[in-house]
A and B are shown apart, each in its own frame.
Chain A
Amino acid sequence: MTKPQKNTMQLDELDNNFAKAIAKAGGEKINLCIQCGTCSASCPSGRRTAFRTRQLIRRAMLGFRDETLSDKDLWLCTTCFTCLERCPRGVDPTDVILALRNMAVEAGHMLDQHKRVAGYFVKYGHAIPINEETRKRRANLGLKEIPPTTHKHKKALDEVQDITKKTGFDKLIGFKWEKGKK
């Protein structure tokens, strides 16, 4: 038998410091929100999904830390900044979402597809690395086969990789150096 769904919360289950933590992580103005819903009404992603920016912000303000950070809908924002431009209170919802995403990744809720892209970045210095086909196309277009980037300069790639170690990005995304390094 399925358990009845719990629909009440005890106040002590909420994280009272969550909004403060979001503010510190870059969503400084979250507390200015008056729940008018201009953000949800402006959202091209919410037009076709259950993603509701207003709800996300409300839940975060109330202190539903785990529910907010583990919610996959957090990743439905395209960062188009329409809500940020239109918010009458200057909450900068896009910045709140980016702060929440940083916190979600920190809490271990990173999507596999994103780990892959981030891994490419650490490995090649490019989120989309070059391949044989593109090299040929570049040559056919009269371009240098290898672009003058980390693809061409080994030292530059070393620097970029070293920076990702210093900031802890490699560990954060679970990058395996022995596998990743050529």
Chain B
Amino acid sequence: MPNRYPGLEAATRNVAEALGIDLLDIEGASCCPPPGVVKSFHRPTWLAIAARNLSLAEALNADATTLCSGCYGTLKDANILLKKDAAMREKVNKILHDYNREFHGTINVKHIVEVLYRDFGVEKLKNFVKKPLNLKVAVHYGCHLLKPTEYRTGESAERPKLLDELVEVLGARSIPYRDKMMCCGAGGGLKSSSPDVSIDMAKEKLENIKKAGADCIVTPCSFCHLQFDRGQIDVAKQLGVTYDLPVLHYVQLLGLALALDPEKLGLYSNAIPADPILKKL
């Protein structure tokens, strides 16, 4: 995320500041690592690297948060697995001890959307809205924010509400569209292994969203964001179809409602210009 969409990092830092949320950097963190690829290749490596990242967050004595559902999936799953399985924990700690680190299981992992919805709270968020957004929003939940539900926080995987509520509290309308809960097509290593299949999935969603008359797409994940934002350029090039649908991460949408400068929200570093929605506001 810091290397692909630094605009989302900027948006998160500025939004957190406006809301009075203190963010600490996990100095020396690595890639989470990606669940779709590294976990697909070698689970023990996936777990050891995730444990290292978690141990760095533990040392800060703070819960870990992320704005990518892939990172969230890795850190959340690894945190739960290592907390409940002593043998697995011991194995991983044997590796970490060589660097004077240890996984203790003292923190929780929360997606930024969860932090806003559960810890900060929708009601409180309402009080911070300076500029209600007159927009029709297609909410894309993506997969790893909600699934596997056993390792998540009790939200339905088929009919979730949290992101719709978070969007609507900003004055925007979350519109229904066909196959809303479908995957964006980027995950599981598919974007690198079969870009044609991956982009075909994105196209199907874009098509459904366009038909429903949305002003923009809102996602909770930087990888879904990439898939729909830069993906529209690929769809235009390869399949000759244009949608001109601005794609916003939820923190960017929130930033607009807080009346923050679009530039500080990284809205000008998206591939698809956000101008149509900025004009509408």
Residues of A bordering B, CB below 8 Å: 25-26, 44-45, 48-49, 75-82, 84-85, 92, 94, 98, 101-102, 105, 110-111, 113-114, 116-118, 121, 125-131, 134, 137-138, 141-143, 147-153, 155-157, 159-160, 162-164, 166-169, 172-173
Which B residues are in CB contact (< 8 Å) with A82?
143, 147, 157, 181, 183
Q: How far is the CA of A134 from the CA of B5 in the complex (A)?
A: 8
13 contacts across the A-B interface (CB closer than 8 A): A75-B40, A80-B188, A82-B183, A85-B148, A94-B148, A98-B39, A105-B41, A125-B31, A134-B4, A141-B10, A147-B3, A151-B3, A156-B28
Residues of B bordering A, CB below 8 Å: 2-4, 6-7, 9-10, 13, 25-31, 33-45, 48-49, 52, 95, 98-99, 143-144, 147-149, 157-158, 181-183, 185-190, 192-194, 197-198, 200-201, 204, 264, 266, 269
Which A residues are in CB contact (< 8 Å) with B186?
78
Known: A138-B6, A147-B3. A78 touches B41 (CB 8 A): no
Inter-chain contact count A-B, CB under 8 Å?
Answer: 203
Looking at the assembled complex, report how far the CB atom of B3 sits from the nearest CB atom of chain A, in whole angstroms. 5
Point out the residue from A101, A163, A168 that lies within 8 Å of B52, measured CB to CB: A163
**Are the C-beta atoms of A102 and B40 separated by less than 8 Å?**
yes
**Are the C-beta atoms of A80 and B143 separated by less than 8 Å?**
yes
Point out the residue from B36, B42, B200, B266 that lies within 8 Å of A79, measured CB to CB: B36
Looking at the assembled complex, report how far the CB atom of B141 sits from the nearest CB atom of chain A, in whole angstroms. 11
Point out the residue from A98, A113, A155, A157 that lies within 8 Å of B43, measured CB to CB: A98
Looking at the assembled complex, report how far the CB atom of B133 sits from the nearest CB atom of chain A, in whole angstroms. 22
Q: How far is the CA of A119 from the CA of B6 in the complex (A)?
A: 22
Q: How far is the CA of A162 from the CA of B101 in the complex (A)?
A: 14
Known: A44-B185, A78-B36, A150-B30. A114 touches B41 (CB 8 A): yes
Known: A78-B190, A98-B40. A160 touches B52 (CB 8 A): yes
**Are the C-beta atoms of B42 and A169 separated by less than 8 Å?**
yes
**Are the C-beta atoms of A84 and B147 separated by less than 8 Å?**
yes
Q: How far is the CA of A105 from the CA of B45 in the complex (A)?
A: 13
**Are the C-beta atoms of B42 and A102 separated by less than 8 Å?**
yes
Point out the residue from B10, B147, B193, B204 that lies within 8 Å of A111, measured CB to CB: B193
Q: How far is the CA of A80 from the CA of B4 in the complex (A)?
A: 22
**Are the C-beta atoms of B41 and A155 separated by less than 8 Å?**
no
Looking at the assembled complex, report how far the CB atom of B105 sits from the nearest CB atom of chain A, in whole angstroms. 19
Known: A44-B201, A130-B3. A81 touches B148 (CB 8 A): yes
**Are the C-beta atoms of B188 and A110 separated by less than 8 Å?**
no
Chain A's closest residue to B201 (CB) is: A44
**Are the C-beta atoms of A121 and B31 separated by less than 8 Å?**
yes
Looking at the assembled complex, report how far the CB atom of A45 sits from the nearest CB atom of chain B, in whole angstroms. 7
Point out the residue from A80, A110, A148, A167 that lies within 8 Å of B27, measured CB to CB: A148
Which A residues are in CB contact (< 8 Å) with B27?
148, 152-153, 156
**Are the C-beta atoms of A142 and B264 separated by less than 8 Å?**
yes
Q: How far is the CA of A130 from the CA of B9 in the complex (A)?
A: 14
Known: A49-B197, A84-B147, A143-B10. A114 touches B37 (CB 8 A): yes
- Interface-centre pick from B6, B25, B201 (highest chain A CB count, 10 A): B6
**Are the C-beta atoms of B269 and A141 separated by less than 8 Å?**
yes
Chain B's closest residue to A170 (CB) is: B45
Which A residues are in CB contact (< 8 Å) with B7?
137, 141
- Interface-centre pick from B3, B48, B149 (highest chain A CB count, 10 A): B3
Which A residues are in CB contact (< 8 Å) with B193?
75-76, 111, 113-114
**Are the C-beta atoms of A141 and B266 separated by less than 8 Å?**
yes
Known: A141-B10, A159-B52. A79 touches B269 (CB 8 A): no
Chain B's closest residue to A154 (CB) is: B28
Q: How far is the CA of A118 from the CA of B157 in the complex (A)?
A: 30
- Interface-centre pick from A44, A82, A128, A151 (highest chain B CB count, 10 A): A44
Which A residues are in CB contact (< 8 Å) with B187?
78-80
**Are the C-beta atoms of A137 and B6 separated by less than 8 Å?**
yes
Looking at the assembled complex, report how far the CB atom of A161 sits from the nearest CB atom of chain B, in whole angstroms. 10
Which A residues are in CB contact (< 8 Å) with B26?
148
Point out the residue from B39, B41, B183, B185 that lies within 8 Å of A172, measured CB to CB: B41
Which A residues are in CB contact (< 8 Å) with B43?
25-26, 98, 102
- Interface-centre pick from A26, A110, A121, A162 (highest chain B CB count, 10 A): A121
Which B residues are in CB contact (< 8 Å) with A142?
10, 264
